[in-house]
Structure 1
Amino acid sequence: MSNGGAGVWPEVKREFILFPAVDVLDGECVRLRRGDYETKTVFAQRPRDAAVRWLTAGAHYLHVVDLNGARDGVSLNQAAIADVVQVAAEKGASVQVGGGIRQLDTVARWLDMGVSRCVIGTAALIPGWLEQALRRFGSEALVVGLDGRDEKLAVRGWLEQTQVAITDLAKQWSQLGVRHALVTDVGRDGMLAGANLDLACQVQDQGLQAIASGGIRHLNDVLAAQRAGLAGAVAGRALYDGSLDLTQALAALQHSLDKEDGNRVDETNYPLF
């Protein structure tokens, strides 16, 4: 069994993780709107530069998506993503990678490269695939991607819409032994429309630790996801266009955790939100 990267994931479920997103298309760091490849905006020619930016701002976890892999099932970005994993490792940070991971050997390759967790979407629908992956890699190395529109699953880079209810799959996969889920409302992704926390909470109610993705606009959305008891959230366009400050958001999350723990908190050390 491969153990993945050296980064450490929190053992305590309530420790909320804010993941900066690094989406890679044709070797560049980009953002899309609603998963439409024709709407790409390039934010960095080298994805490692985006990673360094977020790591320097205080991130301990990164969410990386291979958009070529998600769309075509073939990765053109392995070298670029390897650079991101390397700079993260130098900072002691963890990386989860998704996009086009449809073979068990692909999971093994990413984990051997230093990736800590792999996000599995389309392949999870193949009968027996998840069971094999869980036996080979363990539940901590895997995240199921529950991406959809109108609470129904979308697959193959969000290009194909199914009629499968996301919550039904969440229950089924939780019973298999899956622990982690990335929940994306495709209609909100890249639109700064607010995350679909209701859907993420429904998934979490099925026994999975849910990470909300798609639509995070600002600090209040991040704090709302934390208050909802979710395991984390992925922020993309809001970070890149400046409407969400990562350092401030991380401080606010820690502040909230300190207050929950009943620790004495010096309010002057935190920004006003």
Structure 2
Amino acid sequence: MILFPAIDLKDGACVRLKLGLMEEATVFNTDPGAQAKSFAAAGAQWIHVVDLNGAFAGKPVNAGAVEQILKSVEVPVQLGGGIRTMATIEDWLSRGLSRVILGTVALRDPELVKEACKRFPGKIAVGIDAKGGRVAVEGWAETSDITVTELALKFEDAGAAAIIYTDIDRDGVLTGPNVEATAALARAISTPVIASGGVSSLDDLRALKAVASSGIAGVISGRAIYDGRIDVAEAIALLAE
């Protein structure tokens, strides 16, 4: 299992939100490049980045900060937030991103996601964020009627590199990941699943690792790393065992 240390960008700084609320943002670092470098130095194989302003605006906002990150590290970087058109996907990949994450557009325009998967094999992940099991979009500001599994199944044969599943009710509050729901999703689809939301300790990582055979390929952690509850190098070693 791969650990994806998270950098969430708001107004150019590294922040963490609580329950997906922009007004509940805590700034952890004003230098995204330095933050990425510290993750890479600890042995991170990937870095997960979210343009929070972009998710709400529906277009990239923190491009400068993302470019800083890309210049600072050689490890692959994946980015989500405000990526809604083929032109934006192409632009980000041309700047050196290894993978883009499509969230809102996966619900609004699944055909665009399928086309992107075809054009850029291995470089497209689908981000599915859920409140009470239902898919939330537009920076989590709106909840739809479709379930997580229903949406994930639409991309079964598309060739997506991964489904990134976030339980918003647990995001940024350190209550532990929704292991059961994540494993159930992973079992229902063939695409690898990356777990996100609520990871608070090495024990949480152990719990996810215990069900990794269901199809969970990775886990994203943010606040617990910034709070010092999870040491990146230690977490990577644990997941690699």
TM-score (structure 1 length as normaliser): 0.84
Number of residue pairs the alignment of both structures matches: 236
Residue 96 (structure 2) pairs with residue 114 (structure 1): yes
Instruction: Tell me which residue corresponds to 1:169.
Output: 151
Q: In 2, distance between residues paired with 1:150 and 1:43?
A: 28
Pick closer, same or farther for the CA change 1:207–1:248 going to 2, 3 Å. same
Q: CA deviation at 1:86?
A: 1.6
Instruction: Tell me which residue corresponds to 2:199.
Output: 216
The answer (yes or no) to whether the contact 2:34–2:72 under 8 Å persists in 1 is: no
For 2:170, the aligned partner's letter is: R
The answer (yes or no) to whether the contact 1:211–1:232 under 8 Å persists in 2 is: yes
The answer (yes or no) to whether the contact 2:8–2:49 under 8 Å persists in 1 is: yes
After superposition, the C-alpha distances for 1:90-121 in whole angstroms (9 at most, x for unaligned) are xxx11100001001111111111111011100
Residue 238 (structure 2) pairs with residue 252 (structure 1): yes
Q: In 2, distance between residues paired with 1:119 and 1:207?
A: 18
After superposition, the C-alpha distances for 1:32-88 in whole angstroms (9 at most, x for unaligned) are 001100011001111112112211212121000000110111322111101101212
Q: CA deviation at 1:159?
A: 0.5
Secondary structure in 2 matching 1:176: coil
For 1:144, the aligned partner's letter is: V
Q: In 1, distance between residues paired with 2:116 and 2:236?
A: 33
Instruction: Tell me which residue corresponds to 2:142.
Output: 160
Structure 1 runs of 4+ with >4 Å offset: none
For 2:61, the aligned partner's letter is: L
Secondary structure in 1 matching 2:198: coil
Instruction: Tell me which residue corresponds to 1:20.
Output: 5
Q: In 1, distance between residues paired with 2:225 and 2:210?
A: 20
The answer (yes or no) to whether the contact 2:9–2:49 under 8 Å persists in 1 is: yes
**Which of residues 163, 181, 184 is equivalent to 1:199?**
181
Q: CA deviation at 1:201?
A: 1.6
Secondary structure in 2 matching 1:105: helix
Q: In 1, distance between residues paired with 2:143 and 2:239?
A: 35
Q: CA deviation at 1:203?
A: 2.0
Q: In 1, distance between residues paired with 2:65 and 2:161?
A: 28
Segments of structure 2 that go 5 or more residues without pairing to the other structure are none
For 2:171, the aligned partner's letter is: D
Residue 125 (structure 2) pairs with residue 143 (structure 1): yes
Segments of structure 1 that go 5 or more residues without pairing to the other structure are 1-15, 257-273
Secondary structure in 1 matching 2:28: strand
**Which of residues 14, 21, 30 is equivalent to 1:45?**
30
Q: Which runs of structure 2 are paired with 1:121-140 in the superposition (5 Å)?
A: 121-125=103-107, 126-138=109-121, 140=122
Secondary structure in 1 matching 2:100: strand
Q: In 2, distance between residues paired with 1:43 and 1:127?
A: 35
Q: In 2, distance between residues paired with 1:82 and 1:200?
A: 31
Q: In 1, distance between residues paired with 2:161 and 2:133?
A: 20
Secondary structure in 1 matching 2:15: strand
The answer (yes or no) to whether the contact 1:210–1:231 under 8 Å persists in 2 is: yes
Q: CA deviation at 1:247?
A: 1.2
Residue 212 (structure 2) pairs with residue 235 (structure 1): no
Q: CA deviation at 1:127?
A: 4.6
Q: In 1, distance between residues paired with 2:157 and 2:118?
A: 14
Secondary structure in 2 matching 1:130: helix
Secondary structure in 2 matching 1:200: helix
Q: CA deviation at 1:129?
A: 1.1
Q: In 1, distance between residues paired with 2:81 and 2:190?
A: 24
For the pair shown, the structure with the greater C-alpha radius of gyration is 1
Farther-moved stretch of structure 1 (49-58 vs 208-217): 49-58
